[in-house]
Amino acid sequence: MALLERSVCVGLFLLLQLLCVACDSKKTVSWCVISEAEEQKCLDLSSNATARNIRGTLECVRGESTQDCISKIKNGTADAASMFADDIYAAGLCHGLELTAGESFNGIDGINYYVVALARRSSADLSLLEMHERSSCHPGIRTTVGWTVPIGYLVNTSQISVGDQCNFPRAVGNFFGYSCVPGVKDPQHDPKGNNPKNLCEACIGDENDRHICANNHRERHYGETGALRCVAENLGDVAFVKHTTVFDNLDGKNQESWALDMEVEDLKLLCPDGTEAGPEEFEQCHLAAVPTNAVVVRPDDRCRVWKFLERLENAFGNSTDSFHMYSSAAYGEADLMFSDSTHHLQRIITGYTSWLGPTYTAVLQAFECEGFC
């Protein structure tokens, strides 16, 4: 039986290779870009590829937004684009698109960062399974770290119920005692002015008490560093941040007074099962592992686009000459076409939900009532 299973696997692999050879015949790959800087980098990559006689042609197609690029890929006016995890989910769920390659950094393949729940070690009787009426610090409204992952977790564990109205801000405001969710009162997120005021009560604004709850750095509790500060200043029981936030700010890394007064050992992680762990134990104690960006394509184009990307990477992935496909330093913006942290691309032959992973897919599913499609 084992021999038969091995033969089947070998046969499927050989078939996949043959299909890739066949589908590699179309010579042009059109890449959807959404800014002038990204378009210029794409054009430069194309011209460098031509100069190096790389088989195939890279064409650059301008899109108005990521959603526009998804539509262009679906209707065939573009072939590919690299996207964040939330957009990958929408592209797959709503439009039947798939992935062909994912970014890998120098760490674990496919993992960008972990979302963790951070609290002061001195905080007693604190559990992620009993967060009702507690205070919380969030990097910002509608962010992956500060909103999608923690609120999705609380919905999936039946601590928060959004009801038939699917009103997440109201449900979150009713659940926590008070919070800082920068941007929650901005007109684009609260057009009718109905979002709960307690979602801004742990915010402090700038040094002159202005811009309280602003969706930018004028609110000093904005972003991952701001959420950590919120906990450090005892204005929140828990902060939802990236696993790197603690190590980027404490033990002398951040010279602001609030950071100098706290050390890594003063903090702990709250785990999804209700237990606790040290900040260095994020791989075992996190709310979700957020995947790196990946290249979205039509299902029939997976191998064709991969083979072209493979040729580009061989020439420009670790290039020491004037052009590097994983660097955006020359264009005045970061992460153009690919994340600047990318070390290499890895081929994806499984479905998009496998790349997103079970924990991250689960938190996204909690928001389906809002309408991804």
Q: Does the pLDDT of residue 4 top 60, yes or no?
A: no
Proportion of the chain above pLDDT 90, given as a percent: 85
On whether both 135 and 56 belong to a single domain, the answer is: no
Q: The tokens 């950071």 sit on which residue?
A: 259
DSSP letter assigned to residue 330: G
Domain termination site, one of 271, 289, 307: 289
- Cβ–Cβ under 8 Å, residues 349 and 82: no
On whether both 119 and 229 belong to a single domain, the answer is: yes
Q: pLDDT for 340-371, tens place per residue?
A: 999 999 999 999 999 999 999 999 999 999 88
Residue 367 lies in a domain: no
Quote the domain boundaries for residue 85: 23-107+292-353
The DSSP annotation for 46-63 comes to HHHHHHTT-SSEEEEEE-
Task: Indicate if the alpha-carbon torsion angle 256, 230, 196, 89 is positive or negative.
Answer: positive
Residue 57's nearest CA partner among 40, 74, 79 is 79
Residue 113's nearest CA partner among 280, 286, 289, 248 is 289
Q: How confident is the model at residue 7 (pLDDT cuts 50, 70, 90)?
A: very low
Strand order in the sheet with 344-347: 57-62, 28-33, 80-83, 294-297, 98-104, 344-347
Strands 288-291 and 276-277: unpaired
Residue 364 lies in a domain: no
Amino acid identity for residue 249 in this structure: N
On whether both 212 and 279 belong to a single domain, the answer is: yes
Residue 184 lies in a domain: yes
Strands (E), the chain: 28-33, 57-62, 80-83, 98-104, 111-120, 135-137, 178-180, 238-242, 267-270, 276-277, 288-291, 294-297, 344-347
Higher pLDDT pick, 110 / 64: 64
Q: How confident is the model at residue 11 (pLDDT cuts 50, 70, 90)?
A: very low
On whether both 120 and 261 belong to a single domain, the answer is: yes
CB atoms near residue 160 (< 10 Å): 22
Q: Does the pLDDT of residue 35 top 50, yes or no?
A: yes
From CA 348, how far away is CA 294, in angstroms rounded?
9
Amino acid identity for residue 29 in this structure: V
From CA 228, how far away is CA 292, in angstroms rounded?
23
Residue 81 structure tokens: 């684009």
* CATH number of the domain encompassing residue 305: 3.40.190.10
Q: Span 195-222, mean pLDDT? A: 97
On whether both 277 and 150 belong to a single domain, the answer is: yes
Mean of all residue pLDDT scores within the chain: 92
On whether both 43 and 98 belong to a single domain, the answer is: yes
On whether both 77 and 117 belong to a single domain, the answer is: no
Residue 277's nearest CA partner among 117, 112, 113 is 117
Can you list the alpha helix ranges (DSSP code H) found in 214-256? 223-232, 245-249
Residue 362 lies in a domain: no
Task: Indicate if the alpha-carbon torsion angle 79, 80, 81, 84 is positive or negative.
Answer: positive
On whether both 89 and 120 belong to a single domain, the answer is: no
Residue 326's nearest CA partner among 339, 315, 314 is 339
On whether both 346 and 329 belong to a single domain, the answer is: yes
Q: The tokens 């499927």 sit on which residue?
A: 12
On whether both 279 and 296 belong to a single domain, the answer is: no
Q: Does the pLDDT of residue 160 top 80, yes or no?
A: yes
Q: pLDDT for 47-101, tens place per residue?
A: 999 999 999 999 999 999 999 999 999 999 999 999 999 999 999 999 999 999 9
From CA 69, how far away is CA 109, in angstroms rounded?
26
Residue 148 structure tokens: 């999608």
Q: Span 286-304, mean pLDDT? A: 96
pTM for the whole thing? 0.86
Proportion of the chain above pLDDT 70, given as a percent: 91
Amino acid identity for residue 280 in this structure: E
DSSP letter assigned to residue 76: T
Domain termination site, one of 253, 270, 289: 289
Q: Does the pLDDT of residue 13 top 90, yes or no?
A: no
On whether both 129 and 52 belong to a single domain, the answer is: no
Longest distance between any two alpha carbons in the chain, whole Å: 73
Q: What is the pLDDT of residue 14?
A: 47
On whether both 252 and 320 belong to a single domain, the answer is: no
Q: Span 207-231, mean pLDDT? A: 97
Q: Does the pLDDT of residue 289 top 90, yes or no?
A: yes
